[in-house]
Structure 1
Amino acid sequence: MQRIEHICFLQDSLYSPALKGWTGTHLQNYNLAKQFCKSGMKVSFVVASARVFDAVPEGYEGMGVEYVKTGEIAPFIFFWREVNQVLRRLSPDFVYVKGRSWLVGVAQAYAAGRDAEFIWGSNGEDGCDPWKFTIKAKRANVQPFRRLYRMTKGALEDLTYVRGIRQASFLVNQTKGQQEALAKHFQREGNVIYSMQEVPPGPFRKANPLFVLWIGRLSREKQPELFLKLVDACKTSNVAFRMIGPISATNEWAAEISRLAKVCDFRHLNWLDRDALLELVGTASLLVNTSSRGGDGIPNSMVEAWLREVPVLSYELDPDGLISRERMGVVAGASWLEFVLAFERLLDHRESLDALNHHVRARAIDLFAPNKVIAQYQRLLKIEPSEPGAFHNLDLNTLEPSRIDFAVTLR
């Protein structure tokens, strides 16, 4: 009888529609874990967090969940042993950690002591840079002695993940840029594997008039002011604009958001649950992204939009060259003039936009469908499905779409 492999995801929060506080990383881990589970592996989560979860899900898609309550102060010192003990009790064959945190060190220590494999994944374009917490502490606007304390604590936590990454069994990057940064800073070779997303069945009924969407946390690295400026520049066009995402504590965009809502078809929604958000994305004709190129890897919002026949107009971010190389939309090259002109061209050429809608979905299925991604992981980890072909029974998530080879010309 074939032995069932066990993989454990070690992280600081948990994706669930019933919970708040999760990020794109937690959603990506959830999607990946489900496919490992469907392929016949045993899957579990260990969540180490100072947060108190009101609704830790039971029967988590057939995956186990263990919760370790940690303290706020230096958990990598005071709760390392407790998390390691949970891992030893579960005894997984693989431990997966995404991102830079003290949990990287715990996972590596467990793997080294139990002849297990540690998989580390990067989660942003700066996600392979060292000294994350030290640099953050150095930039903090606090008194000098507090800054020194934070830098010391940050350096200790940095050293835990640096050692873990250097000794990981497998390294996974979202983009070639992350792969190059990993080689530069850690002298390790990563494997580029895109993060998967579930493939929605469609069809998608697009709103009329055209509906343009911006999604993200309103923070400086997301540059939401560029979208607001675009709305203002194009407010006389027959287009509905929607902005989805919480405003940061500084609330610096509130006045402009309020003003635009009075002069054109523009609305800002602070939060939508995931199902409602994805339904809204499916009605959009265009997703606008204004993030700076240094932070995000491949944003979940982009992939979710492409899978729903929504191309992307990006001010400067072109993750792994996907938008330009695969014709998944338009990148303005950080030029404000080109940004506005590209927006106007896309909306003025409805036939080209409609053709682009179908193209981006087909290419996104090729690149991000669960069966494609899980197969890459299985080759990397040298594991076979316990039930051969199990993960191929996933409806649209195993589609093999024919390639659509055409050029969309916007003049």
Structure 2
Amino acid sequence: MIADCNRQGIKTILCVANDRDLFEDYSSNNLELDHYGMPKWKGHYALTTASCIIVQTAFQQQMLQRNFNRSSVLIRNPVKLSQDDKKKWITRTQREFVLWIGRADAFNKQPSIFLDLAKHCPDLHFLMIVNRTDEAELDSLEADCPDNLRIIEHVHPTKILDFILRARVFVNTSRYEGFPNTFLQCAVSGVPIVSLQVDPDGMLTRNRCGIYVSGDVAKLKEAVIDLVDNSDKADRLANACYQYVLEYHEYRERVAEMAACIEKLHVAEPVPEKAPWWAAMKRYWR
């Protein structure tokens, strides 16, 4: 897409999703496929030729500058908040399960860690909402599922908050993320977060919005049990997370930032001269 736009003299905005998309192995001569199945040299092309790049976190901004010498615009993920949000929160004792949401992706999302967590906490109820992106991985999870874990293959996006509102704890087991939208949904729903390997811009540790266990699976279990048993602590983390999201992720300010970014790009330097017809024969200028 960016190659075609460049050829036609159309400006482009590239929005970075995952920290992993900014690794330095996205080089101009790397023919390996990335986790999207795209040659990494194409990722390098996109990152080095897009007119503007939008990132989700300050950490991504630093990675982009360090690995690709590109500046960027930081626009945090938006979420719609309401004065009635907290009125919808149910008490800790009414909440039903420890929740995990993600793709059936063994490498990055690591759902099997959550399954093992359920096995080691037989007195708690667990719910896993999984998108069937890998048939073999999902089949393996279902075959090894303990009695206290329920696996739901798909939930419509409009219904996902109904499940999050009933969660006692939300668990993230990903190796890499950008800024998980599930963290925003948990903030709106009053659900404390426990994360194995992801802490975007220190949200969980520095801002006390949840518990980050630095990859320690044993501590993951301890943190989940602690939050189930300690309602006051769960409430403190949930309230801190809500205030953080209110300050940094409220959607109207994020929309204004995006509009300003588009306007700035629109009034910037003139659009490059349209490439000749024969340039279509060589889409990527390498």
Report if TM-score (shorter chain) is over 0.5.
yes
- Contact 1:315–1:331 (CA<8 Å) still a contact in 2? yes
Q: Residue 180 of structure 2 is aligned with which of 288, 294, 299?
A: 299
Give the number of equivalent residue pairs.
Answer: 256
Answering whether residue 216 of structure 2 is matched by residue 335 of structure 1, we say yes
Partner-residue secondary structure (3-state), 1:276 = helix
Tell me the alpha carbon deviations over residues 337-370 of structure 1, each in whole angstroms, 9 at most, x when there is no partner: 2111111211121122123222322221222111
Task: Establish whether residue 104 from structure 1 lines up as the match of residue 16 from structure 2.
Answer: no
Query: What is the Cα deviation at residue 253 of structure 1?
Result: 5.5
Could you say what secondary structure the match of 1:316 adopts?
coil
Residue 61 of structure 2 contacts residue 71 of structure 2 at CA under 8 Å; is this kept in 1? yes
Q: Tell me which amino acid in the other structure corresponds to 2:100.
A: W
Q: Which residue of 2 aligns with 1:217?
A: 103
Is contact 1:366-1:372 (8 Å) kept? no
Match for 1:120 among 14, 19, 23?
A: 14
CA–CA separation in structure 2 for the residues paired with 1:309 and 1:284: 9
SS across alignment from 1:135 = coil
**Is this contact kept in 2: 1:119–1:171, CA < 8 A?**
yes
* Residue aligning to 2:281: none
What SS does structure 1 have at the residue aligned with 2:19? coil
Q: Cα gap change, 1:287/1:241 in structure 2, threshold over 3 Å: closer, same or farther?
A: same
Distance 1:337 1:315 in 2: 10
The alignment yields a C-alpha RMSD, in angstroms, of 2.9
CA displacement at 1:196 relative to structure 2:
0.8
Give 2:283's aligned residue: none
Aligned to 1:186: 68
CA separation in 2, counterparts of 1:249 and 1:173?
Answer: 28
**Amino acid across the alignment from 1:208:** Q
| Cα distance change of structure 1 residues 174 and 256 upon mapping to structure 2, 3 Å threshold | closer
The letter of the residue matching 1:241 is: F
Report the alpha carbon displacement of residue 245 of structure 1 after superposing the two structures with TM: 0.8
Other-structure match for 1:234: 121
Is structure 2 residue 116 aligned with structure 1 residue 205?
no
Q: Residue type matched to 1:161 in 2?
A: A
Distance 1:282 1:334, change over 3 A: same
Name the SS of the counterpart of 1:251 in structure 2: helix
Out of 173, 189, 199, the position equivalent to 1:308 is 189
Aligned to 2:160: 277
Provide the residue aligned with 1:136 in structure 2. Answer: 33
CA distance in structure 2 between the partners assigned to 1:336 and 1:163 by the alignment = 37
Q: 1:248 to 1:119 in 2, by over 3 A?
A: closer
Distance 1:352 1:268 in 2: 28
- List per-residue Cα deviations over 1:232-275 (Å, max 9, x = no partner): 11112xx321000134435246455455443x2x2100001112
Deviation at 1:328, TM superposition (A): 1.5
Distance 1:212 1:190, change over 3 A: same
Cα 1:190–1:234 change in 2 (3 A) is same
1:355 paired residue number = 236
Q: Judge which range, 301-310 or 327-336, deviates more.
A: 301-310
- Corresponding residue for residue 134 of structure 2: 249
Deviation at 1:162, TM superposition (A): 4.4
Deviation at 1:276, TM superposition (A): 1.4
Q: Tell me how far apart the structure 1 counterparts of residues 218 and 90 of structure 2 sit (CA, whole Å).
A: 31
Give structure 2 stretches of 5+ with no counterpart: 265-286
Aligned residue type for 2:183: M
Aligned-partner SS, 2:184: helix
Determine which of 363, 368, 372 is the counterpart of 2:249: 368
CA contact (8 A) 2:210 2:238 kept: no
- Kindly report which structure 2 residues correspond to 1:48-59, keeping only aligned pairs within 5 A, or say none: none
Q: Tell me which of 314, 319, 326 is aligned to 2:200.
A: 319
Is the 1:210–1:285 Cα contact (8 Å) retained in structure 2? Answer: yes
- Distance, in Å, in 1 between the alignment partners of 2:251 and 2:151 is 32
Matches of 1:126 and 1:104 in 2, distance apart?
Answer: 20
Note if contact 2:95-2:166 (Cα within 8 Å) is conserved in structure 1.
Answer: no
Contact 1:209 1:240 survives alignment (8 Å): no
* Alpha-carbon contact 1:126-1:178 (below 8 Å) kept: no
TM-score (norm 1): 0.56
Which position in structure 2 is the counterpart of 1:404? none
Structure 1 residues 163 and 379: alpha-carbon distance in aligned structure 2, compared to 1, 3 A threshold: closer
TM-score (norm 2): 0.78
In 2, are the aligned partners of 1:134 and 1:158 still within 8 Å (CA)? no
> In structure 2, how many angstroms separate the alpha carbons of the residues matched to 1:341 and 1:154?
40
